[in-house]
Amino acid sequence: MSTKVNETSNNKINTIIPIIIIAGLFFIFGFVTWINGALIPFMKTINELTSAQSFLVASASYISFVVMALPASAIINKIGYRKGMSLGLIVMAVGALVFIPAAEARTYWVFLTGIFIQGMGMTLLQTASNPYITILGPIDSAAKRIAIMGIANKIAGALGSLIFGALLLSGIDEIKDKLSTVSVTEKAQLLDTMADSVVTPYIIMAVVLFVLGILIRKAPLPHVEAEPIEEAKEGKTTKTSIFQFPHLWLGVLTLFVYVGAEVIAGDTIIAYGISLGFTAAKAKFFTTFTLMAMVATYGLGVFLIPKYVNQALALKLSAVLGIILTFCIVFTTGFTSILFVAALGIANALVWPAVWPLTLKGLGKFTKTASALLIMAISGGAIIPPLYGWFVDENKVKLMAQGMSEALASAEAATSGYWILLPCYLIILYYAISGHKLGLKKD
């Protein structure tokens, strides 16, 4: 009896330490990911971009998940989870250093290259850490562990958004007012000075990431593997390909639209506030509203899952709330509408933690490949936000052609652009109701 108690106690200790370490990694890529909310209006100003062009910041970050996910899976299969995490951190450090020549040249594609390289590092980090934390303990409580990771991720994102919002958006309203009155030479000097403000924070970021990349090699992370697929009964065929798991492919689609919705909620809210007439000094706090809503809901998820609410029910509730909030955003105005965008954090928080275990369930030896496919689905953040930006630009032009003022047209177009969220949440709802069961039903 005492031996069993000691074994249980040791298992808890052995699990807690890796959870803390992986939470630290989620903190890091949360910090790096969510500074995009501040980078988008910053890049729009210094590079004189349209709304659609400015959202390529998100595209550069998230498209790397398509390019790197399968290579990352192959790398991790070869070198293991720990070395994969280490390599991811070092690649992110290299991406941060690219911001130095980008600022010197004030060239948008160089900035995007740095963001893309950081995204490649995050792909390695995510491809290693997400399946690791999912299979570190029982699959039924995986959403709880991923919710803990989400808390670390979003707290870091809130800090990153506030810090970089203060560093990059300070005085941006005054600079934008000056740009329309100064000469071409003075304008270039103002924008060059503004671009240089990214150099110091990104040097610090590069050093921290590189040091952590070295330290993670020594971290006490135990080796884990997914549970094997159950042996087929006599007369039945075993699963031989990932194409025999329809719930996996629907899970990939669900994660694709979810990440798009999450990035819209976090990365457009500052620009949305500015379009509604709020100053950058006030709007820089809006991403934090979204992320804190997510943190609070993650905390609720840790308490409720799986004891009181199963993962599928959490996903259903999230989808329904997302649909309701989408209508609320579009049919309200001003700060009320902004608060509804921030409230999407509540609808979004438990989607990622629920989709991962529901999708990886029953995949056995295909878990690492499936994880790579799920990581590729993060590219939803590269495609859906620029679509939002394109809708905003198109609607703004149409409204101005009808005689509406530029300020009012910007506000109206930015609000109506949020309709793009509705099909995203409908897909999530379908997966929660029945999509996650396809192919797993007993004959």
Encode pLDDT of 34-88 as tens digits. 788 888 888 988 888 888 888 888 888 888 888 888 888 888 888 887 888 899 9
Q: What integer best gives the mean pLDDT of the chain?
A: 84
Q: Give pLDDT tens digits for 283-341.
A: 888 888 988 898 888 888 877 776 788 888 989 999 999 999 999 999 999 999 999 99
Spatial neighbors of 154 by CB under 8 A, at least 6 apart, are 30, 34, 291, 292, 294, 295, 298, 345, 349
What confidence score (pLDDT) does residue 224 get?
A: 59
Q: How far is CA 26 from the centre of its chain?
A: 11
- Asked if 355 and 315 touch (Cβ cutoff 8 Å), the reply is yes
Tell me the per-residue pLDDT of 329-346, one tens digit each, with 9 for 90 and over.
999 999 999 999 999 999
Q: pTM for this structure?
A: 0.74
d(CA 387, CA 370): 27
The rounded Cα 340 to chain-centroid distance in angstroms is 19
Q: What is the mean pLDDT of each run of 10 residues along the chain (443 residues)?
A: 40 70 86 84 86 85 84 84 88 94 90 94 84 74 78 86 83 78 84 88 92 84 58 52 86 94 89 89 86 86 78 92 97 94 92 87 78 85 90 92 90 94 96 85 48
pLDDT at 228: 54
